[in-house]
Amino acid sequence: RSFNFCPKLRNRAFESSWRNLVADILIELETFRPDIVVTTHPWLDSHLDHQFSALALVDALERWNQDCAIYLYTNHASGNEMYPFGPRDGMMGLPPWADGRGVRHCHCVDGLYSHPLTKETQRQKLVALEAHHDLRPFNIFDGSEVIEAPPGLNYYRRGGRPNELFYVSDFAGLWAMCQQLLTVVPNLA
């Protein structure tokens, strides 16, 4: 918490709870009043933490009650950790719709947005990946070996692309996706 720049977040008592997570997100929304909010796609990203972060965002957006565009992305494409496909210097394409879960929910998406990244931003993304402890071939705490991902799954190949790709939606679309997700994925209900 000492690294939070926002006094409202830094100076309050901390308790790890759903209510406080949503309250923290709401504080950020009220402070910055964004026109665009970026989050993981609740259907296309299979990581439970990422799905729950989208659900928490929906709760906060509902309380905030302001209009903004929602840009959705995936780090862990459902059913295919090879995404994005191709070499690191290749443009990012659409993620696969694994097992058809998302196909019937396309009506919640208004469009696509491809954001170009400079070489410097791509480099910074790779530096950020390097700082992520579970991507290193050894445990930073005790030096023990960590089993590396096969070359196709290596996050260094997948990260730092020339573009970032987003599905564009609004609150109603994200809300509908999250409500449907809660009825289909038993771990989230």
The pLDDT value given to residue 31: 92
**For residue 19, is it within any domain?**
yes
Q: In the chain, how many domains are there? A: 1
**For residue 174, is it within any domain?**
yes
- Low-confidence residues in the chain, pLDDT < 50: 1, 102-104
Tell me if 177 sits within 8 A of 45, measured CB to CB: no
Q: What count of other Cβ atoms lies within 10 Å of the Cβ of residue 80?
A: 17
Q: What count of other Cβ atoms lies within 10 Å of the Cβ of residue 87?
A: 8
**For residue 24, is it within any domain?**
yes
**For residue 22, is it within any domain?**
yes
Give 100's Cβ-side CA count (13 Å radius).
Answer: 1
**Domain housing 45:** 13-117+161-184
pTM for the model: 0.79
Distances (CA, A) of 51 to 10, 36, 46, 149: 25, 19, 7, 23
The pLDDT value given to residue 103: 46
Return d(Cα 135, Cα 24) in angstroms, integer.
28
The pLDDT value given to residue 159: 75
